[in-house]
Amino acid sequence: MLLSTQIGAKNDAAIYAEQRSKFIAAEKALKRGKISQYQALRKELEDYPLYPYLEYRELRYGFSSKKLPRVKKYLETHPDIPISHLLRTAWLNHLAAKKKWGDYLALYTPQSSIKRQCNYLRALINNGQQEKAFKRVAPIWSYGGSRPDDCTPVFKAWRKAGKLTGKL
């Protein structure tokens, strides 16, 4: 019994060593733009424990609207992996820069960043949800300090709608 356990452990170690080597090769292929080589290696690593990190690297670089469904799926599948937050942040920043407000709303979750909060409000405003957005503007407005430039369009729309009152 002990011998079979030792053999199994050696086989596992050999499998992980081979997967680790393929993982490193896949990272290098992706970095060098050798996409077909990367994709072939990636398919062999789907059961590797670090596979989500490899997938992150692919989704993180080279923004493309074709990748967005995969990004959404990744974030749903791996919500607790620390790099998921980094992926969401990078994509939210990209979508805001491109003014892809519908996609921004689809990917948004509550953020600590005022810039991303303002972009969320801007996305709401640009998608016909002004009242929902305007209910959230006052706390950002009344901060008492400067705010990111991304907040300016939100503040302008809020003022234009007559929501800035003397109480604030």
pLDDT of residue 7: 41
Query: Residue 168 has what pLDDT?
Result: 54
Distance CA 77, CA 144 (A): 39
Q: Are 40 and 71 in contact (CB under 8 A)?
A: no
| pLDDT score at 128 | 96
Per-residue pLDDT of the chain (168 residues; tens, 9 = 90+): 443 444 444 577 888 899 999 999 999 999 999 999 999 999 999 999 999 999 999 998 878 878 899 999 999 999 999 999 999 999 999 999 999 999 999 999 999 999 999 999 999 999 999 999 999 999 999 987 899 999 999 999 999 999 887 665
The contacts of residue 58 (CB under 8 Å, 6+ apart) are 30, 38, 42
pTM to 2 decimal places: 0.83
